[in-house]
Amino acid sequence: MNDEATSGRDLVHRETTGAATRVILAVAGCFTLLAPWELLIRPGVNPFQWGMAPFWAISFGALSVGVPCFLGAVFGPSRTLHFDAGRRELIDRGAISTGLAWARTHAFADLGPIVVAENDWSDGPSTWVVELTVAGRKRPLRVVDLPTKAGAEAVAADLERLLRD
């Protein structure tokens, strides 16, 4: 992805799929291949019989989870939010490792209030997300997810200052 030179007032937030995440997704995706192997291929019987229908359903269920995991590992999506103070717009760029990229642009005038919300996870510590409402979107745009409330509030304050100027 081509990064533009940014002025000192611009804010840029990048999210990438790291190597550890890719490995975990790939292992999870490959693990789901065990269900079709153990239920349809390994027994050595013709899998195209009516009695094998439940095993086909189980195999399709496993693959419906595994294939997206494997694709996420292979393509590794990334996202960049660039708040361009000079042009007074938000540029939301996304890309996958094959070179397919997309971008959406929103004028600062279309951006609504900034919200700092807590994600209270059941299996780990809470995180704090900075969200921004955008005209024409049903859901708020997630800017960044941080482990501390102070960090999220600092990002929200920087963003508020940039949008007001």
- Digit-coded pLDDT (tens) for 115-140: 999 999 888 899 999 999 998 889 99
User: pLDDT value at position 7?
Assistant: 52
What is the mean pLDDT of the segment spanning 39-67?
Answer: 92
Please check the confidence at residue 88 and state whether its pLDDT lies above 80. yes
pLDDT at 8: 59
For residue 1, pLDDT beyond 80: no
Cα angle 57, 60, 62; round to 5: 110
Q: How many CB atoms lie within 10 A of CB 159?
A: 21
**Averaged pLDDT of the chain:** 89
pLDDT above 90: percentage of residues in the chain? 67
CA torsion 25→28→30→36, rounded to 10°? -140
> Backbone dihedral region of 27: left (phi > 0), alpha (psi from -120 to 50 degrees) or beta?
alpha
Say if residues 55 and 40 touch (Cβ distance below 8 Å).
Answer: yes
Asked if residue 94 lies in contact with residue 77, where contact means CB atoms within 8 angstroms, the answer is yes
Q: Is the pLDDT of residue 99 over 90?
A: no
* 81: nearest Cα among 18, 142, 155, 2: 142
